[in-house]
Structure 1
Amino acid sequence: MSLSSRPRFATLLRGLVLPAGLALSLSLPTAGQAQVSPFRQAVAEAVAGRGDLAPSYRARGFAGIWTGADAAAIARRNALLSALSRAGAHGLPVSRYDPEALVAKLRAARSPEERAEMDVEMTRAFLRYARDVQTGLLEPGRVVELIRREVPLRDPAETLAGFLEAEPAAFLRALAPGTLEYGRLMRARAELQRALDAGGWGPRVPETKIAAGDSGPAVVALRDRLIAMGDLAPTTSARMDAPLIAAVRAFQARNGLAVDGVVGPGTRAELNRSAEERLQSVLVAMERERWTNMERGQRHVLVNLTDFSATIIDDGQETFRTRSVIGAEASDRQTPEFSDVMEHMVINPSWYVPRSIVVGEYLPQLKRNRNAASQILITDRSGREVPRSSIDFSRYDERSFPYSMRQPPSNSNALGLVKFMFPNRYNIYLHDTPAKSLFGRESRAFSHGCVRLNDPFEFAYALLAAQEDDPEGFFRSRLATQREARVVLDAPVPVHLIYRTAFTDAEGRLQFRRDVYRRDRTIWDALARAGVAISRPAS
């Protein structure tokens, strides 16, 4: 529903709250009348065979929920119709619920059968909206296979029962995620829509490098675009001066770019993204927030793949942050999205090489040179080392190779000196790495799927602080043994691997990141097919 149509809908809705002369008013049976009215009989027939609705209506003796003339029914239907008309504020398609059509049908319903059918249709609309706004419009795993998230779906009967016991408008407002992030994303959606309605952010920045001291049309275009985006206070300066450089640096920081104050190809590409593109990212982020509308843990670890970061959150506040390296962009190396619980860490870990790496990477090397990857042991099924001289590698292929490979603890171990385990079916965990140079890169998608940490020791200290008086001393003493040591966390910590190209920081500022795996593009396409649309100014 467009903004311009809302006054007309409000007028229609006001007509429904008037108790006198309601076309949809009905007389329910009193103690002196028959026990089952024609309306209730019609409701029973309308929900027959509907396992999702019949129990709820049966528990009410097939009384109506929405179509009565009593104050409770009026409050319910008007709260629902109002919520449906505002679904666009949540990035949901108003057309999916069509509140104007519901109003028209409610007005036209005359017979008990028509009123009963409308009552059931309103219930279906309520449950559809409740699910969409609470846990998302889409099923994530059907859209992107590597989103292995278990969406916290609510039981429809419990949702309806809760609604019937609550103040209707308050219940409907509470369905959406109650996180600060969701509220901020809603505000960002509204602001970006206003920017789009006003024509966007102006001309694109020309394809030329812009650095300190430069002037001319390209600098003016840069200046005007940053002002329109809110990154620069209004100014008439046409030079790349200190305020403009500071604005570029701020823009780079909130877009995950290298912060150097110079407009090169990467920064220019992000500057030239349209308000509509950014709005799409925010709408996808809102859908993703609904998929994780659950208790995340008083203390939890949050890994945002697109931000290449891992953070520890305590009571809603970020208490530790480090850079990360994630799975490479190739489809068989991308890091999946899921939630699990960290149970322990391993200090001085061995690396048990995944089968896919053994036969896909090391076996070809060993066929050419049996001494390749000499730091890694070859083992039999019992874990015993097998001398390389006793193996004719040329005899084997990916299917027939009977050996495993293991790298003992060492400074050069692929897992570094500590790994953090949240056992899962995907064999994904957080770990140290000897390849420290990768953390200096702007984009850090290089691993086989696991998440590497830039500051793994400090991450360990932060986790151990909950159970050790001297977490650093405890960790260092185990590290000094050079032997593998498993350390159980007294209080397991939930870990959430998420993927957000749009999110807000601790100060509430909107941040954007590149769609490194192109998952958000796929999700936006699915949302658009489901009816989510961005209104554009009339040309």
Structure 2
Amino acid sequence: MMLRLIMVLLVLAWPLQAAQPLRWHSDNALNEAGQLLHELLLPEPAAFASLPLPERDAWLSREWRRVLAERERFTQYRLPPERGESGFGDALAGGELVAYLRRQQPDYPGYRQLKQHYHALAGLGHYTPLPPGAEVRPGERDATIPALRQRLSELGYGLAPPRGRADALDASLSEVLKGLQQAHGLVANGRLNDDTRAILSRSPAEIRAELRHNLRRWLLLPPAAPDRYVLVNIPAYRLTLMQNQRPELEMKVIVGRPDWPTPALATHIDGLKVNPDWTPTANIIREDLLPAQRRDSGFLIRNGFSVWLPGESSSQDPGTINWLQPPAGLRLVQAPGPSNALGRLKFEMHNRFDVYLHDTPDKSLFGEAHRALSHGCVRLAEPERLAAGLGWSLPAGNQTRILPVSGRVPVYLVYFTAWVEQGRLVFARDIYGNNV
């Protein structure tokens, strides 16, 4: 009987829900608040236009609430009410949606530049796809080269005029291809090959779809850019220290493997640990360190690891442990030193994923084009430069010390596969498949 009553109430309530007044439309068109929200969310134009008016209105509300939920997951500290669901609720209750949405606009040059390219692509009625053909090497001539130049110009690349024949892949054009290939995770050989043709032949609609993914990710950051912050772009394998909206320093980084991805998050640098020890997680012990110890019985001792068992007040000799069946709850700690996985510096960051920025003893990996190689933490090519840029003077000696920070420094680990450099669009390989 009770179940039947509930079903009847739901049926009766349905027309009321469907008949709710439109929030983002007036006179069958987007009102001012609707225009602002539409510009933030950037729905796929054809799909959005195909929806009946009430469904378009509901879509805007639903998608904005999804952004707010993503912000909650992204932010590793207490989210200010203005940026969460409660701020949206207050704006709805107070009838202040226009002012509220104006405060949500991301105030970052990178966001504004990317959006300009997004809108410019909408007006591109014609684009120049590259036909299939044989590989063209630097210095060679091919009938496709004029189309290649035209296509690169459409994408915002400022090209030098050809020095010789217009159908030759000259040195300057080859250098442009190398940069494009490197950004997409291809072999940077400067040749026009099948993979490069596929990237360049994407239609404006396909490129706009990728830009929408990336513009949406900007909404997770605080709308007003801090005076100073650290930005780690995961697919670009790059860290940038920003000061007053300008890059103060940049460096290569290593990020998590596709099966162990670095999470996108916002947090703060709370301190600098000099000469850190390292306590690997249970997953790293199980998947990496135990197999290494089983292959080589001296691995743990040689690399400075001590073994701690549950309830024990002192460490154990690794030679006393049966590594084929190790005790449950076993913990490994690697002492500071030249072979320590964290190197000499660890930047302390509070987050539920237990990831952080750190040095590494293996600098050779920064020469690799594909640097999704870690267990999720971010390895820095030049950690001393970052420490200096954040105001630290490093002490001498091998003693483990934690240096306090003068003001918490915001850190944003972001997943941008498209951005703008020197006025042109740049793309990175979607290493985790997040653009689907």
TM-score bucket (shorter structure): 0.7 to 0.9
318-327 or 256-265: which moved more? 256-265
TM superposition shift of 1:391 = 2.2
232-241 or 82-91: which moved more? 82-91
TM superposition shift of 1:423 = 2.0
SS of the residue corresponding to residue 395 of structure 1 reads: coil
TM superposition shift of 1:369 = 4.1
Q: Equivalent residue for 2:252?
A: 323
Q: Equivalent residue for 1:484?
A: 400
1:200-252, Cα deviation, whole Å (9 max, x unpaired): 322245351421x2112344443343344342367671112244234435545
Of 297, 303, 315, 1:370 maps to 297
Gaps of 5+ in 1: 1-45, 54-63, 67-72, 103-120, 465-470, 522-539
Q: Equivalent residue for 2:84?
A: 153
The answer as to 2:160 corresponding to 1:245 is no
TM-score (norm 2): 0.79
1:282-334, Cα deviation, whole Å (9 max, x unpaired): 0111111223354453221111101101111122221111110000112xx11
1:327-367, Cα deviation, whole Å (9 max, x unpaired): 0112xx11111111110111111111221122222223434
Q: Equivalent residue for 1:56?
A: none
Taking the aligned partners of 1:265 and 1:441, their CA distance within structure 2 comes to: 22
Alpha-carbon contact 2:110-2:419 (below 8 Å) kept: yes
Of 300, 316, 320, 1:386 maps to 316
TM superposition shift of 1:515 = 0.3
Measured on the aligned residues, the alpha-carbon RMSD in Å equals 4.0
SS of the residue corresponding to residue 406 of structure 1 reads: strand
Q: Cα 1:425–1:157, aligned 2, differ >3 Å: closer, same or farther?
A: closer
SS of the residue corresponding to residue 355 of structure 2 reads: coil
Map 1:487-502 onto structure 2 (within 5 A): 487-502=403-418
TM superposition shift of 1:448 = 0.8
Amino acid at match of 2:309: D
Of 29, 35, 38, 1:87 maps to 38
SS of the residue corresponding to residue 352 of structure 1 reads: coil
Rg bigger for which structure? 1
1:450-500, Cα deviation, whole Å (9 max, x unpaired): 000001111111112xxxxxx4xx31xx2x311111111021111111101
Of 124, 128, 143, 1:217 maps to 143
Of 417, 439, 442, 2:366 maps to 439
Q: Equivalent residue for 2:113?
A: 184
Of 250, 272, 286, 1:345 maps to 272
Taking the aligned partners of 1:304 and 1:511, their CA distance within structure 2 comes to: 13
Q: Cα 1:163–1:206, aligned 2, differ >3 Å: closer, same or farther?
A: farther
Question: Comparing both structures, which one devotes a greater share of its residues to strand?
Answer: 2
Q: Cα 1:263–1:435, aligned 2, differ >3 Å: closer, same or farther?
A: farther
SS of the residue corresponding to residue 390 of structure 2 reads: helix
Alpha-carbon contact 1:304-1:310 (below 8 Å) kept: yes
Taking the aligned partners of 1:82 and 1:427, their CA distance within structure 2 comes to: 39
Taking the aligned partners of 2:70 and 2:144, their CA distance within structure 1 comes to: 42
TM-score (norm 1): 0.65
SS of the residue corresponding to residue 287 of structure 2 reads: helix
Alpha-carbon contact 2:109-2:245 (below 8 Å) kept: no
SS of the residue corresponding to residue 394 of structure 1 reads: coil
Amino acid at match of 1:203: L
Alpha-carbon contact 1:254-1:510 (below 8 Å) kept: no
Q: Cα 1:265–1:452, aligned 2, differ >3 Å: closer, same or farther?
A: farther
Q: Cα 1:159–1:392, aligned 2, differ >3 Å: closer, same or farther?
A: same
Taking the aligned partners of 2:286 and 2:91, their CA distance within structure 1 comes to: 51
Q: Cα 1:421–1:519, aligned 2, differ >3 Å: closer, same or farther?
A: same
Taking the aligned partners of 1:270 and 1:95, their CA distance within structure 2 comes to: 24
Amino acid at match of 1:430: L
Map 1:18-417 onto structure 2 (within 5 A): 80=31, 83-84=34-35, 87=38, 91-93=42-44, 125=57, 129=60, 132=63, 140=70, 148-149=74-75, 152-155=83-86, 156-160=88-92, 163-164=95-96, 175-195=104-124, 197-198=125-126, 200-204=127-131, 206-211=133-138, 213-231=139-157, 232=159, 237-249=166-178, 251-252=180-181, 261-263=190-192, 267-330=196-259, 333-373=260-300, 374-375=302-303, 376-381=305-310, 382=312, 384-396=314-326, 400-417=327-344
Alpha-carbon contact 1:201-1:229 (below 8 Å) kept: no
Amino acid at match of 2:319: S
**Paired residue total:** 410
SS of the residue corresponding to residue 43 of structure 2 reads: coil
Alpha-carbon contact 1:324-1:452 (below 8 Å) kept: yes
Amino acid at match of 1:160: L
Question: Comparing both structures, which one devotes a greater share of its residues to helix?
Answer: 1
Alpha-carbon contact 1:209-1:265 (below 8 Å) kept: no
